[in-house]
Amino acid sequence: MCRMLLYKGNQPIQLAHLLTKPAHSIINQSFDSRLRLDTRRPINGDGFGVGWYESEPDPELGAAPCIFTSVTPAWNNMNLIRLADKIKSPLVFAHVRASTAGSVSESNCHPWQYGRLMFMHNGNVADFHLIKRKVQESMTDEIFLTVNGNTDSEWAFAVFLSQLKTPRQAEPFCHSVLKEAMLKTIAKLNAWGKEAGITEASMMNFAVTDGVSVVCSRYISSRTLEAASLYFSSGTRFESYKPGHYRMIKADKREDIVVIASEPLTFEKADWLTIPSNTIVVITSKLNVLMYPIVDEYHNPTPTGRAPEQANVAVVQGEGRGDGARDHRHREVVFVEDHRAIPTVPAVDSLRPDKGQSTMSHSESAAMDAPARALASTAPVMVA
């Protein structure tokens, strides 16, 4: 199973601080991934990709991201190391691949780009060959012809593009538009799977950005199994305090940096929060972080009832901290139940909007007397 990472910040970051320099960087995860659902301590050596946006708008360069991919293992690519030392960007996607479908080729390496949009996936669409024809028939010729590879992941991106009215628009998308398109994509893939009689769970950790906002899902089509790992960290500075060792500094209440990764990049446990299974994460243009439970037939209002797909899951060991940086008391995640059913298609019998329980901070609960009204504005759920 692949590993992925995304960064969004008010200031551009040198790619090396994400890709190469941390002891558990995304490149090191390509040969030393510790939180995969299987127990083989496997290698993510079937290629890699990194995409980034320019720090300043440039009409000549346009709004599309630059993407560098290769089929060589990420740990053995000198060009990647050279580029990471010389490029800075305020928005970065990175991915190391362990193939579950499709050949080892550059066209199958994540992330992919369409217009100003960039997309990547960790997981698999179960028995995709049984629904591939349905997927292809659902889209316009223009979207169909954008797919160059043969992975379930790239076809999932094509399904996502098909949910947007103007996928190639020049202007940034509203983050709520990207969020709704992500929910529709998950719903459609589930519906086609159910129609085909597929019983294996699909793991759909998707990430998409337009260069301004980011939408990311941690999802599995099961009420009992745990989705592929995904972690969140935010603060004001991401810095090295000794070679290979980084920490997220929280100097004040503002968020200048947001990192989402399949595995933590640092050994500081307090830096990272686990994103719950079957959750949508939205990073707005102003670096507000919103989290919504995905309320469908696989919604589990008691996530403690979920079990890892494999029982023996390794953890990242780390050192203690006493440096005054952020610890667990400085951060809390606020959830608001999204009572709107996600979009359905005819193959879904019914999506059960289980109400579940919301977890809120004391300060937020007073402001959330009417959660349904707040949800209508699509901006009440924040990580502080």
φ, ψ at 171 (rounded to 5°): -85, 155
Examine the residue annotation and report whether 174 is marked as an active-site residue of this protein. no
> Among 218, 120, 232, 118, which Cα is nearest to 172's?
118
Structure tokens at 351: 């999506």
Q: How far apart are CA 250 and CA 256, in angstroms?
A: 9
Sign of the alpha-carbon torsion through 92, 220, 184, 342: negative
Choosing from 2, 109, 174, 216, which is the catalytic residue? 2
Give the three-state DSSP class for 109. coil
Contact of 292 with 338, CB cutoff 8 Å: yes
Distance CA 62, CA 255 (A): 27
The Cα–Cα gap between 298 and 18 comes to 33
Bond into 301 cis (ω within 30): no
Q: Which phi and psi (to 5°) does residue 162 adopt?
A: -70, -15
Cα–Cα nearest to 15, from 59, 65, 61: 65
Which residue has tokens 């060959």? 129
Torsion sign (Cα): 87, 88, 90, 92: positive
Burial class (CB in 10 A: 0-12, 13-18, 19+), 373: exposed
Look at strands 203-209 and 279-283 and give their pairing: unpaired
Q: Catalytic site residues?
A: 2
